[in-house]
Amino acid sequence: MKKIAKSLLPLAALVLVGTCLVTFFDLLVVLMTSVGLANEAPSSYYQIMDIPIISVTLPIVGMILFAAILLGLPGQPADAVKSTATKRGIYRSMNEEGKKGNRRLKANA
């Protein structure tokens, strides 16, 4: 499974780049149509080349590929991961320090 996941990485990167290019093309068509350049020719080419379908399916394919890659890569077992939690008594917050000082003052008075 690890070999399959590594072989899918270039394809997933290609799909990611393709998605970015299609999104840029979508933005360009919207801007050209809203300004009125080329008498709505970009919009007709947009429909003829089926860009709306490609702009929906390409990100879906990319998400499926990245999910397959993440499931195929081996992870670390839970025992190998070190705890990042700190002990409560080592680092006291400023509020706890102030409360401790107030208690001492009240006890002395």
The pTM for the full model equals 0.60
Q: What is the rounded distance in angstroms from the CA atom of residue 21 to the CA atom of residue 44? A: 19
pLDDT: which is higher, 107 or 32:
32
Residue 2's pLDDT is: 77
- Domain spans, the chain: 2-72
Q: What is the rounded distance in angstroms from the CA atom of residue 25 to the CA atom of residue 91? A: 54
For residue 73, which phi and psi values (nearest 5 degrees)?
A: -80, 140
CB 58 within 8 Å of CB 19: yes
The pLDDT of residue 69 is above 60: yes
The pLDDT of residue 41 is above 60: yes
